[in-house]
């Protein structure tokens, strides 16, 4: 079963509703992020992916999440400031979400993508094709700059 995110509505930084379908035609990497996690250093790698592939219609979309060990307690403004000052990260961040249990979008939809199930920890990554279909799911331990993830992004961009 393919899962498509084009009709998913999320909350943008300014609190407004935004449909992920507005990004149709772009390859997306959706990541639940946290500022106080062992994987937080992945912010730098995520920004590097954005830098490398943005000219080819690729975007990293970050969704702060405090579901795992309370590792994202800050406000969105605090999170954005931390990301910019600590990791020079400027990819798009959205309002905080829940990625497990009583989920909020985009995770209510993403968690249905094979292999279905709740996100297990911070920095789990979902790769979205230009048509909005979920085409990959990468656990937290998969580094953004890994050969595996870069190859999947490049395949999606070439499709």
β-strand partners of 19? 9
Tell me which residue has tokens 């094979």. Answer: 114
What are the DSSP E strand ranges found in 2-159? 9-11, 17-19, 27-33, 58-64, 92-93, 125-128, 134-138
- Residues ≥6 apart with Cβ < 8 Å to 87: 41, 43, 44, 47
Question: Can you read off the two tokens belonging to residue 50?
Answer: 């954005």
Tokens describing residue 123: 């920095």
Per annotation, catalytic residue among 37, 65, 99, 110: 37
Residue 65 annotated to the active site: no
Active site residues: 37
């Amino acid at each position: 079963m393919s899962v498509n995110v084009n009709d998913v509505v999320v909350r943008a930084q300014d609190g407004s509703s935004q449909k992920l379908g507005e990004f149709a035609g772009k390859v997306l990497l959706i990541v639940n992020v946290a500022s106080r996690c062992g994987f937080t250093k992945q912010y730098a790698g995520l920004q590097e992916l954005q830098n490398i592939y943005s000219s080819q219609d690729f975007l990293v979309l970050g969704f702060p999440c405090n579901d795992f060990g309370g590792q994202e307690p800050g406000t969105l403004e605090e999170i954005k400031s931390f990301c910019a000052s600590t990791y020079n990260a400027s990819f798009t961040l959205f309002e905080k979400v829940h990625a497990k249990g009583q989920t909020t979008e985009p995770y209510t939809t993403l968690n249905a993508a094979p292999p279905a199930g709740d996100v297990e920890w911070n920095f789990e990554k979902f790769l979205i094709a230009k048509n909005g279909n979920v085409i990959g799911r990468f656990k937290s331990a998969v580094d953004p700059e890994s050969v595996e993830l870069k190859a999947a992004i490049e395949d999606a961009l070439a499709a």
